């Protein structure tokens, strides 16, 4: 995505462009609320830039809005929070046309236990047990929202925090699926957090179900973000 956006912006503005992403994602992870920033000396109107860039981008990437920002704005470091959603198709039948956007789980899930476990994630905790790979810097994060909602056979897990460790959301979902299938108890979340041991948590859920849905900035949330390393 980054390369395609830089190529299109360069063509429209007539100068090399390097963009900054608000959040990094692994291959297979989606983003409907990604934010980018870039510096340019162009005099072309932002509306014209947006139209021109969208005409050049592949069909799986689109710019919804583009506006001038303050010189101090940075898509990543100015963010005060991020929100992700993970989609699970819970039922006997999968949806083939949605296979790239959700994770299918055919066995029954204890949704009540999964919701209780999710509540224990809310607050400021050390999430080292849910991080993928070596930790860089502090591993404490402030989770503001974590919960499930059902729409037919679709389960949506929403989580918002001031920042995420690499792999954190997928590890959390994998652990909550352990809870839902009876592999571990709902009240184990606190002990897993306290352990700071990745081996205590569940495996990463597949990338396809995860989507970055919103990036928050000053005015949306009242505190500074920890650096986002979610992928």
Dihedral of CA 96/230/60/218: which sign? positive
CA distance 76 to 101: 25
DSSP the chain: -HHHHHHHHHHHHTS----EESS---TT-EESS--EE------S-HHHHHHHHHHHS-TT----------TT--TTTT--EEEEEEEEEESSS--GGGTTT-EEE-S---HHHHHHHHHTT-EEEE-GGG--SS--S--EEEEEEEEEEEETTEEEEEEEES---TTHHHHHHHHHHHHHTTSS-GGGHHHHHHHT-GGGSPPPPPGGGEEEEEEE-BTTBSSPPPPP---
Count CB neighbours of 58 within 10 A: 9
The residues annotated with a catalytic role in the active site are 26
Dihedral of CA 106/107/108/114: which sign? negative
């Amino acid at each position: 995505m980054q390369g395609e956006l830089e190529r299109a912006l360069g063509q429209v503005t007539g100068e090399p462009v390097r963009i900054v992403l608000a959040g990094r994602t692994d291959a297979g992870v989606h983003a409907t609320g990604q934010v980018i920033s870039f510096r340019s000396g162009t005099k072309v109107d932002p509306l014209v830039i947006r139209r021109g860039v969208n005409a050049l981008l592949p069909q799986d990437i689109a710019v919804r809005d583009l506006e001038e920002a303050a010189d101090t704005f940075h898509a990543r470091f100015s963010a005060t929070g991020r929100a992700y959603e993970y989609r699970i198709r819970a039922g006997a039948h999968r949806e083939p046309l949605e296979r790239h956007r959700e994770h299918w789980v055919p066995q029954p899930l204890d949704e009540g236990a999964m919701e209780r476990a999710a509540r224990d994630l809310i607050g400021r905790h050390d999430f080292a047990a849910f991080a993928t790979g070596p930790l860089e810097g502090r591993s404490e994060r402030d989770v503001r929202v974590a919960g499930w909602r059902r729409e037919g056979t679709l389960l949506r897990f929403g989580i918002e925090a001031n920042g995420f460790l690499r792999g954190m959301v997928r590890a959390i979902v994998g652990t909550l699926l352990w809870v839902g299938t009876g592999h571990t108890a709902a009240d184990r979340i606190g002990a897993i957090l306290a352990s700071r041991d990745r081996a205590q948590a569940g495996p990463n859920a597949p990338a396809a179900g995860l989507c970055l849905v919103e990036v928050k900035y000053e005015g949306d949330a009242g505190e500074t973000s920890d650096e986002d390393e979610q992928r």
